[in-house]
Amino acid sequence: LPLGERLSRRIVDGERHGLEGDLDEAIASGRTALEIINDSLLAGMKVVGELFGRGEMQLPFVLTSAEVMKTAVAHLEPHIEKTDDEGRGTIVLATVKGDVHDIGKNLVDIILTNNGYTVVNLGIKQPVSEILRAAGEHRADAVGMSGLLVKSTVVMRENLEEMNSRGVAADLPVLLGGAALTRAYVEGDLAEIYRGEVRYARDAFEGLRLMDAIMQ
When binding is defined by CB under 6 A, the residue of 74, 150, 184, 193 that contacts ligand B1M is 150
Site string for ligand B1M, 8-47 (x = CB under 6 A): ----------------------------------x--x--
Q: Judge whether 152 counts as a catalytic residue.
A: yes
- Residue 138 falls in the annotated catalytic set: no
To the query of whether residue 24 is one of the catalytic residues in this protein, the response is no
Phi-psi region of 185 (alpha: psi -120 to 50; beta: other; left: phi over 0): alpha
Sheet of strand 142-146, all strands in order from the earlier edge strand to the far edge: 118-121, 90-95, 142-146, 174-177, 198-200
74 counts as binding ligand B1M under rule CB under 6 A: no
Catalytic member of 99, 102, 109, 141: 99
Interaction between residue 89 and ligand B1M (CB under 6 A):
no
Comparing CB distances to ligand B1M, the nearer of 19 and 180 is: 180
Q: Which of 22, 65, 101, 146 is catalytic?
A: 101
Answer yes or no whether residue 145 interacts with ligand B1M by CB under 6 A: yes
Name the minimum Å distance from CB 202 to ligand B1M. Answer: 7
User: Is 149 a binder of ligand B1M (CB under 6 A)?
Assistant: yes
CB of 27 to ligand B1M, least distance (A): 20
102 is an interface residue for ligand B1M by CB under 6 A? yes
**What is the set of active-site residues?**
99, 101, 152
Residues that bind ligand B1M (CB under 6 A): 42, 45, 48-49, 52-53, 59, 62-63, 66, 93, 98-105, 107-108, 144-146, 148-150, 175, 177-180, 201, 203-204, 207
